[in-house]
Amino acid sequence: MSAPAIRVEEVSFSYGERQALQNVSFVVQSGEIFGLLGPNGGGKTTLFRLLSTSLPVQAGSAFVFDHNLASQPDAVRRVIGVTFQSPSVDPKLTVRENLIYQGHLYGLTGAALRKRADTLLTRLGLQDRASDITQTLSGGLKRRVEIAKSLLHEPRILLLDEPSTGLDPGARHDLWRYLHQLRTESEVTVLVTTHLMEEAERCDRLGLLNLGELVALGTPDELRTSVGGDCITIRTTAAIGDLQRRIHDRFHVDVQEIDGALRIERTDGHELVRDLVSAFPQEIKSVSFGKPTLEDVFIQRTGHRFWDEQSRMGN
């Protein structure tokens, strides 16, 4: 059996007294599109920087195709391509010039480099824009140029940090269509960090990060199924703690208080909605229910909403 593309074992990392990662462990299989989903401040970018060899491993261990990140960073760099969140294209150069100069950094020259650049320009739909000055391109096209740069040396793994930043919905859709094409046609493993639920849904598997801890791991379907039923949200005009206790006593269900509302997970949730309204007609202001989402998974595992943590981190 071939080695996993990425193996992370009990990795922790601190910035001074602030713990950014705490005993994180997961495996990414070759050929997967794996997503790290979490709010800003959750630890995604720190983990991304570790895997891209931009930060040293402080505690635990991590491997890329059995290359140890701590002791073999050069070997790791040869098999990964990296697209950072911050723009990396030179705006004053043409699209082709950006690729050629990036190729020189990898030791590529001459006809081989020109052929590789032409191949990527075609694959990413940039061949008609090859002579355009990069600063004249849209955000989506610039992102394609950045991905092309990261693929010049034919890496086996592509790491992308928040790749949809600044992209409109159409450009975001095109980006993800290409990532799936890249995985299928070139067998490239993709690891992407994101804070967008819709992006996370496009991944084969996900790791959910919160305050540096991996709180859930699995396919999007597996994670949603783990919630265990419909999700019911109750808004009330009464004292929320009192209504929480009364619902628990009456229906023998677990009731969470989240963001000024009450939350219940229950199979056949529509039946409980009917019974709740009948039992507490004066206290209930509104009730809604729906099938579990990835945010519901996050709430179940952390006790707070996804964007509540975003607010606490000041982003």
pLDDT tens-digit series, residues 260-270: 899 898 887 88
User: Beta strand pairing status for 33-37 and 189-194?
Assistant: parallel
d(CA 225, CA 207): 15
- For 221-251, the pLDDT digits (tens) are 999 988 877 889 999 988 999 999 999 999 9
Domains, the chain, ordered by start = 6-223 (3.40.50.300), 228-291 (3.30.70.790)
- Which pTM does this prediction carry? 0.83
Position 26 scores a pLDDT of 97
Which regions of the chain are under pLDDT 70? Answer: 1, 307-315
Position 286 scores a pLDDT of 92
Position 262 scores a pLDDT of 93
Position 102 scores a pLDDT of 94
- For 82-93, the pLDDT digits (tens) are 998 888 899 999
Position 88 scores a pLDDT of 87
Position 220 scores a pLDDT of 94
Position 308 scores a pLDDT of 57
Position 201 scores a pLDDT of 93
Which residue has 């804070």 as its token pair? 195
